[in-house]
Structures are given as C-alpha cells and as structure tokens.
Chain A
C-alpha cells in the first residue's frame, strides 16, 4: 500500500507545484491526512447516523476517552508512543465490550452506567499518564487529545484502511439487522436477527472507527465527528438514504475543509478542533434551513 500512497502523493504534489492545486498539497503530511479523511469520512457518516438513531452518542464519547488510558498503557508496556495501536484497540475494545455486557445485566439507566465507566477509565488514564509522563513529551499527549495531522504516517493510513475494510465487510451486510435490533428487538428477533450478537458487533465497529480516527481528530473530539454530521443531516432528512448520504458527505467535507483551511490560511489550531468547528457550522446551517423551511419544520421526524 505504501507504493500506492507514494504514487498518489507524488501526483498531487506535482499538481500543487504547477499551482493546479492549493499550496497545502505540497506537504506530504497534508496529503496523508486528506487520504485518511476520504477513507474515514463516509464511514463516519454511515456509522454516525446509526449511533444517533441508536442513541449511543455518550457511549462513543466514553470509548474515545478510554483511548487515553490505552495510550498510557501502551507507553507503559513499551509500545511506540506515537502509535500504540495494540494497547488502544485492546483497551478500548475491552472497555466497550465490558460496558455493553454490564448494560445487559443491570437495571441502571444507560447514561448512569456509561458515566460510571467513563469516570473510572478517566481516573485510571489520568493516573497512568502522570506515571508515564516522564517518558513522553506533552505534544504526544496533545495530539492524542486533540488530533494532529503532522503525526499521520503510513501506519496510521494502513490502520484506517484496515478498519474501513472491516467495517465494510461486517457492517454493510448487517446494517439492517443492527438498526432493527435497536429499533425493535422483538421484531428483529422475529426476523431471525441474533440481537445480542449484532449489538456487540456494532459496539466493536464503533470502537474500531473511534480508535482509528484518534490521530486526526483526537480522543476528546472524536465522538463529535460521529455525531455532528449525522445530527446536521437529520435536520434536513426525511428518509434513511438521504440521512446516511448527507451524513457521509458532511463528515467527509468537514474533514477535508478542517484539514485544508488552517493550512491554507496559517491558522494555528489543532486539526480535530478545526474539523469539528466546520461540522458544527454545517449543523448550524442545517438547523436554520430546518427552522425556515416548512417542508422540514412541519415534519415529525
């Protein structure tokens, strides 16, 4: 895959040198980040609309925050501190699956349970980070928290490609089952859907995408990019195909613009922040459209 990345990069850099493309395309890290954005944008849109429908926004937030603990564990066990993927994937999957398992076996409200898990994870993460802080510089932690396109390398791109492939192979054939399992579990079961299994699979997919996005968006804001494009799309959608298409489009647009604009205009903001601000502006725009258009204002959806 590295040859393919180099081939794409060389062509785009050549176009930028001949001024056919904006100046930021001259930089290797910008092209790396844009390739990641084009991969992950549609995925965030499809998955994000489902997270919104399934009312799992707080859940995805907690998984993103759990990644900080994963980074600390990675540094402790000697993984590369710039890409501790084994620890991040391992801890976040353990966190998410344990949370889901507990949800099925308690009468506590979901938000309460997620809050408890999130607090525990943050407490452990903060303690471990203080413990390992001597081994890493603060910029590494900053990039984990808020994202940094400077840190995106071929490993990150391969991880994102792998996660996208897994999501497509598992998520697309099971999309209807996953959605139905949350809309009406009894109806899903009547249709032969193994409700528990698809619920756990969805949790795994959300976790994989969340961790894969950390380098660009950051642990603090990753949930926003799952949720805001879907919420923005919902404002002006009355059908599922429109909702999902718009959410994918808005997520991809936000990533691309959020990466390019700060580079083009030398604005010193973290990538994650810029991407989420763009998505938030689109959300405001669609909210205004909904409020001012009878077609959407009158809809009960």
Chain B
C-alpha cells in the first residue's frame, strides 16, 4: 500500500442553502482504481468540482503532490461549449501545450496529440470541428487530452455517457491499462456491473458516504437510484 493519493476529510458543501455534501470523509489509495457511485444529485460531480477548486466548501481535501499539481480530468460533455470554432487538434493544443493554440502545434506536440487520439479510437478526426463530432467522439477526445501527458491522478466524470458499446470496451481497457501503469483513477460511474467488475474500491455517495470499501463488496441489492 502506497498511502492515500486523495483524502476528503469532513467535506461539506451547500448549494442555495441545501446540503449537497454533508461531512464526507474517505480516502483513495495511490494507484487505486476507485469508483464513485450514487444517485443523480447525490453530490458526485460537486465533490469533483470541489476537488478541482471550483466549489466553496468546508472540511479539507488533500491531493498527493499538492493542489497545484495538474491532474487528468474528463468533464461531463454538457460542460464543454461545442459552438466554439475549434478543431480536435485545437482542443488538444489548448489543453496540452504552452504555445498559444492559435499558433498551431510543434511537430512533436502534434505527434503526441495524434497518438493520444489513436489510443482513444478517434485517430483521423484531428482536423474535424470539435463541435461537429458526436457525443461519444467528443468524449473520446476529452479522454485523449486527459491522458496527455500521463497524469498521476485521472478523474473521469461519467466519461462513457453517449459512447457506443465498442467505445465502452475501449474506455474500460484504456482505464485498466492506465491503472496498471500506476495512475490513480477516480471514476464517477453509473454502471454498477462494471464497477463491481473493475473497481478496487468504491464509494457510494448520496450527500453522505453510504458505503466505502472494495468493489466486490458493493451490496448486490444496491442500485444507483436513477436507473
């Protein structure tokens, strides 16, 4: 055991006077594949946003390497404006290089972006307008940017929403591969069968922590409540 990569301690968060998270405490071990499940409105995305510094909260969040260290993050599709005139390569450049994205990318950076797109099964879409892609394709592009360069912590906020069956298998195998390479993974996931199959540890969240333990011990009769 390498110790926690991520620790939430007594985390509470309110939106419009309503408790979204109430005294949430749990840890994610370094190198673990950890799934976060729970009903809609249970506070999963709010917890991730608090982790990313986007939500005022009480309690503490400790991230291995400090809060300033970049992490890989795949947001929900609805959080990304598709009307901005950018190609897939522009999106990759915006997220993965220091040179202003409107000046293009170096050959080395372009090669790295192309390789990441290939790994997520969207090679060949680099010059397509990001906004013209299907939901599943856009989600794969966002996954590609999150693994370039290889992060120590990868946060996935429902990355398989809108993805077809081959895409689901590709995402799962990619996540497993990243996990084997030592990447700590925090995955918001609604597919309980998949969670039981692949997660090392699971937290069930509905404002409070309802369950925290190994994936295979997730109660068989528990459902996410929004299916």
Contact = CB atoms under 8 A, between A and B. Distances in A.
Interface of A: 46, 49, 53, 172-173, 175-176, 179-180, 183-187, 189-192, 195, 234, 237-245, 299-301
B155 A190 contact: yes
24 contacts: A53-B84, A175-B102, A176-B95, A176-B97, A176-B98, A176-B101, A185-B54, A186-B79, A187-B80, A189-B52, A189-B54, A190-B72, A190-B73, A191-B73, A238-B85, A239-B87, A240-B87, A240-B93, A240-B101, A241-B101, A243-B85, A299-B129, A300-B82, A300-B131
Given A186-B49, A245-B102, A300-B129, A237 B85 contact: yes
Contacts, number: 104
B42 interface: no
Given A184-B80, A301-B84, A173 B98 contact: yes
Interface stretch (B1-9, B20-28, B63-71, B196-204): B63-71
B94 interface: yes
Interface string B80-121: 111111110110011101111111100000000000000000
Contact of A244 (B48, B80, B102): B102
Contacts of B72: 190
B75 interface: yes
A242 B85 CA distance: 9
Interface residues of B, number: 40
- Identify whether the interface residues of A are mostly helix, strand, loop, or mixed: helix
Contacts of B213: none
Contacts of A195: 53-54
B194 interface: no
Q: Which of B89, B94, B95, B100 has the most CB of A within 10 A?
A: B100
Given A189-B53, A234-B85, A301-B85, A240 B129 contact: no
